[in-house]
Amino acid sequence: MQLALEFLAAIAAGVLAGATGGCGGMLFVPILMVSGLPPVAAVATSNIGVFVTATSATITNARAKQVPWRRAFMIGVPAIVIAPLGAWVAHHLPEAALLLGFATLNLVNVVLTNRRVGASAAEHDQQTNDASSTQIAVTGGSGGFLAGLFGIGGGLITVPLQILWLNTPIKIAARVSLAVIMFSSGAALLGHVINRADINWRTGIVLGIGGLIGAPIGSRLLRRMSSKAATRLLQAVLIGVSVYVTYRAFN
């Protein structure tokens, strides 16, 4: 029964992520905590679901020849290297600090979503621009660190940094980010295995499958919503998650 409820919750998370353009990992972790997993185990297990969904999306984009693989690998390599460090930090932080950090990240995302909408409105058909190796390394490394630390994939930071720092159009940034998330979540999962995390593999796979089912439904809903409505919905969910996680940090 619990597995069925987790599956339904994962589908709902996928629908919401697809309808708002939000990151599934931001919803996977609270779902896992509600189901009874400790914070670090929830973070580690979330990476399974994130890996499944990001891999599926990247395969779809690759078949359509819409993945700039050179840029994806350039950003992905630092993400792979740094993700295990984030996992190590997650295992050595007090649980309250980890949860408060996750809650704060949700609130930061509330602000970043406004930037994302503005970038989308200003987008033009163009290719990715040249960037320094340092900028690319920081973009990938920060995404990888967040993947290991919070189990969210890292798209929260890699998409805005590509748009605002690497001058990348949002659609290209999103496709690159999905490929990078595939790399970073896999590396983060390995980091948690090395740190002997209590990973619930079955639940993680269920999350991934549920997300795959729900995301296309949400994407269809997104086409019927205005950017402003989708943004406000995502922000409301992020604030709600932040409140819940903060409550758990002190209880």
Helix, strand or coil for residue 168? coil
Q: What is the pLDDT of residues 208-222, one digit of tens each?
A: 898 888 877 876 776
* Predicted pLDDT at 116: 57
| C-alpha span between 192 and 101 (Å, rounded) | 18
Residues of the chain with pLDDT under 70: 1, 17-24, 113-131, 219, 222-223, 227
The pTM (predicted TM-score) of the whole model is 0.86
Q: What is the pLDDT of residues 73-127, one digit of tens each?
A: 999 999 999 999 999 999 999 999 999 999 999 898 888 766 655 555 555 445 5
Those residues with Cβ within 8 angstroms of residue 41's Cβ, 6 or more apart along the chain or in another chain: 32, 197, 198, 199, 200
